């Protein structure tokens, strides 16, 4: 990649001379879409990012939210999309490593990972290969560093054929007094580089992530993919946290996009920085200053420390068998200066580098979503139900999460497969975590679909008894220079923001991944604004099961179903249209009521109604026990079994406690209906004159279709 002509003119005019080779490489990476958010920044500035719990919002390596008077949570989300197509194992593994370092750079201990994975049709051998190796890369790296993968999503769609998405969330636990940020504090302090040696892997990764994938990407772009070492990462985690706890660290930043040039320039941007490349440990001979600066070799961190703590840091690195070097200092002059072998190879006004990239302006057309209502003829209700339950997007993902160690650190209270993850923090309190997206709904209507993504994750938390408090996002879109793509991005950001305001749940950080298009398949991904959300639990002992577990329990449906099929799994499978779920203000009241109901300790099982509709929610809950359900008074027609209206849940409660739970819901005006009883060897659903009966073995066989195919 070379500098765009317009960018080169701006840089030349500001410097008073053309940039040299090293400076050009630095600008190419730091002014890339991946680093500078040139297209998306004006949109991101419209998001609600503040709240009572927000200590540090967007702009640092990770967001920091308040958990209690002494405890904080760090949360960050990133993509590693292009690298995971070129080299799925290393691309996915280093995505995990990078997001973990974002959290430890804030002084927080990483305690959980979530992954949101999007692939093309598994009938293509290439997609199957990508899927298997991405999962293996995440598993191997996460398991080796001892951070549990507790939640995630896997979704398949043809638009991801040539450009899979790998989004990773990391959550960390920290102390208020141990908080570290990524901006330098004091001129005269020293800059240290600690971790692995620097090689040629990952050269130009930021610029690589800011362009479409070509047919030759697997060969030509492989040098842009980093190679990870989880064992060095574990040592770096421990060394960083010990340094923070001992008070040595003034500021810290992970070497991610744009490598050393990105981390050191952004870190020093409050003042200025002078970097010397001579002392940097290299793993390859003959590396040029340009290569050293933009290499994205993994497992490296830069630290700001006072001169009196330099020896302490070097000793700490030696203790953990990590490379370490003093590579520069913070200066008062607002410049980014790089020196090598006594020669200044870069001399740039630091604000020009970190804040001077001109923003892109794009006009977008008004695109109206499809409004037609679905009509499916010649297919029985039984056939519709089995087709939905056996869809890879609805089916169990046990094959994936069984490869992850989700119990390391012993905080995990709910195993994957039951909706949101639950972690114990300071007993009896805990947190719940949810992640994912409704990309087909976003494709049908970017505003409504993005809002529905927020509501879906919030409901996942609420049925565990957790109150949503904040979320991060990863905005995955195609080429924003195309008007229709920019329209999707703008409307999706507006939808996320609208839902966040309804829930009073701020958006505290995230990542933007654009240019997700494939020359090989001549496709762009459908818009995929995935999110990771955290909620607070007052008592983890009250968390209900995700499955029916008590014979004779009463079943309650919370919320109202509307004929909203746009982007639903049903619509995708049968090639129909329909309106996407409407974002309704009342969802906030529903969430508050669900949390209150679960906190009574009387809810035995609970599940959100999400992808696949009521049918899927009930089927998943029937893993162990069947149920008899009558939806005649809740649904107008049998097709509404598959509607994906937001803000609905299925609860079970002992019949003797039913009135007390209904009173909680009724007090806030939340719609509900008692719809049946737990028990039996089948799921029986009555809707008017229709009766759907699915034996438990049939349900299990349908839901296990993906697991069985991957094992085979």
Q: How far does the chain reach from its first CA to its final CA, in angstroms? A: 42
Phi/psi for 579 (5° steps) reads -85, 145
Task: Indicate the CATH number for domain 544-712.
Answer: 3.90.650.10
Judging by DSSP bridges, how do beta strands 272-276 and 335-340 pair with one another?
parallel
Q: How many CB atoms neighbour CB 688 within 10 A?
A: 13
Q: What tens digit of pLDDT does each residue of 535-556 get?
A: 999 999 999 999 999 999 999 9
Supply the pLDDT for residue 421. Answer: 96
Q: Kind and range of the H or E element at 240?
A: helix 230-245
Q: Identify the active-site residue in 34, 82, 157, 406.
A: 34
Q: What angle do CA 131, 133, 138 make, to 5 degrees?
A: 100
Supply the pLDDT for residue 207. Answer: 46
Q: How far apart are CA 89 and CA 669, in angstroms?
A: 50
pTM of the model: 0.95
Supply the pLDDT for residue 227. Answer: 81
Q: Identify the active-site residue in 80, 133, 309, 406.
A: 80
34 is a catalytic site residue: yes
Supply the pLDDT for residue 647. Answer: 98
Q: 602 near 665, Cβ under 8 Å?
A: no
- 352 closest CA partner among 649, 708, 14: 14
Six-digit token pair at 139?
A: 């598993």
Low-confidence ranges of the chain (pLDDT < 70): 1, 204-224, 362-375, 712
Task: Indicate the CATH number for domain 1-30+180-357.
Answer: 3.90.650.10
Supply the pLDDT for residue 220. Answer: 44
Q: In what order do the strands lie in the sheet with 672-678?
A: 603-608, 649-653, 554-558, 672-678, 627-630, 682-687, 690-695
633 is a catalytic site residue: no
Secondary structure letter of residue 547 according to DSSP: S
**Does domain 43-179+410-539 sit in CATH 3.30.1330.10?**
yes
Supply the pLDDT for residue 78. Answer: 95
**Where does the chain hold its CATH 3.90.650.10 domain(s)?**
1-30+180-357, 544-712
Q: How far apart are CA 189 and CA 6, in angstroms?
A: 36
Q: 520 near 616, Cβ under 8 Å?
A: no
Angle between helices 613-621 and 381-389 (to 10 degrees): 70
Q: What angle do CA 322, 327, 331 make, to 5 degrees?
A: 140
């Amino acid at each position: 990649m070379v500098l765009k002509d317009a960018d080169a003119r701006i840089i030349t005019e500001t410097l008073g001379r053309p940039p040299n080779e090293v400076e050009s490489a630095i600008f190419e990476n730091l002014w890339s879409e991946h680093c500078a958010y040139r297209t998306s920044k004006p949109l991101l500035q419209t998001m609600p990012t503040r709240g009572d719990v927000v200590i540090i919002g967007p702009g640092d390596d990770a967001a920091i939210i308040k958990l209690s008077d002494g405890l904080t949570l760090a949360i960050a989300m990133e993509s590693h999309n292009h690298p995971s197509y070129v080299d799925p194992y290393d691309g996915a593994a280093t995505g995990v490593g990078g997001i973990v370092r974002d959290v430890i750079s804030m002084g927080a201990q990483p305690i959980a990972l979530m992954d949101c994975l999007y692939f093309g049709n598994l009938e293509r051998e290439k997609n199957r290969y990508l899927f298997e190796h991405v999962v293996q890369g995440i598993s191997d790296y996460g398991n080796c560093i001892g951070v549990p993968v507790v939640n995630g999503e896997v979704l398949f769609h043809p638009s991801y054929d040539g450009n899979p998405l790998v989004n990773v969330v990391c959550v960390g636990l920290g102390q208020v007094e141990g908080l570290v940020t990524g901006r330098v504090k004091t001129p005269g302090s020293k800059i240290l580089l600690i971790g692995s040696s620097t090689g040629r892997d990952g050269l130009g990764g930021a610029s690589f992530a800011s362009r479409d994938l070509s047919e030759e990407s697997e060969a030509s772009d492989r040098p842009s993919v980093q190679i990870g070492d989880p064992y060095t990462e574990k040592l770096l985690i421990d060394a960083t946290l010990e340094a923070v706890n001992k008070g040595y660290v003034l500021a810290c930043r992970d070497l991610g996009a744009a490598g050393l040039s990105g981390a050191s320039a952004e870190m020093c941007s409050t003042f200025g920085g002078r970097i010397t490349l001579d002392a940097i440990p290299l793993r390859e001979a003959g590396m040029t200053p340009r290569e050293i600066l933009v290499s994205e070799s993994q497992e490296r961190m830069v630290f700001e420390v006072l001169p009196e703590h330099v020896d302490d840091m070097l000793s700490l690195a030696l203790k953990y068998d990590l490379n370490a070097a003093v590579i520069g200092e913070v200066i008062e002059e607002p410049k980014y200066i790089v020196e090598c072998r006594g020669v200044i190879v870069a001399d740039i006004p630091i604000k020009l580098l970190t804040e001077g990239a001109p923003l892109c302006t794009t006009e977008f057309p008004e695109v109206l979503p499809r409004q037609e209502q679905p009509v499916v003829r010649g297919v029985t209700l039984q056939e519709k139900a089995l087709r939905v339950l056996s869809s890879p997007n609805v089916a169990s993902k046990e094959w994936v999460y069984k490869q992850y160690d989700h119990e390391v650190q012993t905080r995990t209270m709910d195993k994957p497969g039951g909706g949101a993850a639950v972690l114990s923090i300071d007993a009896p309190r805990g947190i719940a975590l949810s992640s994912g997206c409704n990309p087909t709904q976003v494709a049908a209507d970017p505003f409504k679909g993005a809002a529905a993504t927020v509501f879906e994750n919030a409901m996942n938390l609420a049925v565990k008894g957790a109150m949503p408090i904040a979320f991060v996002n990863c905005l995955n879109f195609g080429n924003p220079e195309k008007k229709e793509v920019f329209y999707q991005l703008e409307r999706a950001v507006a939808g996320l923001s609208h839902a966040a305001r309804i829930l009073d749940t701020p958006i505290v950080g995230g990542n933007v991944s654009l240019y997700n298009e494939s020359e090989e398949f001549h496709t762009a991904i459908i818009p995929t604004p995935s999110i990771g959300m955290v909620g607070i639990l007052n008592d983890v002992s009250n968390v209900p099961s995700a499955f029916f577990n008590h014979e004779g329990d009463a079943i309650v449906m919370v919320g109202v179903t509307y004929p909203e099929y746009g982007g639903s799994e049903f619509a995708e499978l049968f090639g129909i249209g329909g309106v996407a779920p409407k974002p309704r203000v009342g969802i906030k009241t529903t969430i508050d009521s669900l949390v209150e109901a679960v906190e009574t300790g009387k809810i035995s099982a609970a599940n959100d109604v999400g992808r696949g509709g009521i049918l899927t929610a009930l089927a998943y809950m029937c893993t162990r026990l069947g149920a008899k359900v009558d939806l005649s008074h809740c649904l107008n027609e049998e097709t509404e079994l598959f509607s994906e209206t937001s803000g609905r849940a299925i609860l079970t409660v002992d019949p003797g406690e039913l009135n007390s739970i209904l009173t909680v819901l009724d007090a806030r005006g939340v719609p509900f209906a008692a719809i049946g009883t737990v028990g039996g060897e089948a799921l029986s659903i009555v809707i008017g004159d229709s009766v759907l009966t699915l034996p438990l073995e049939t349900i299990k066989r349908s839901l296990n279709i993906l697991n069985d195919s991957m094992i085979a």
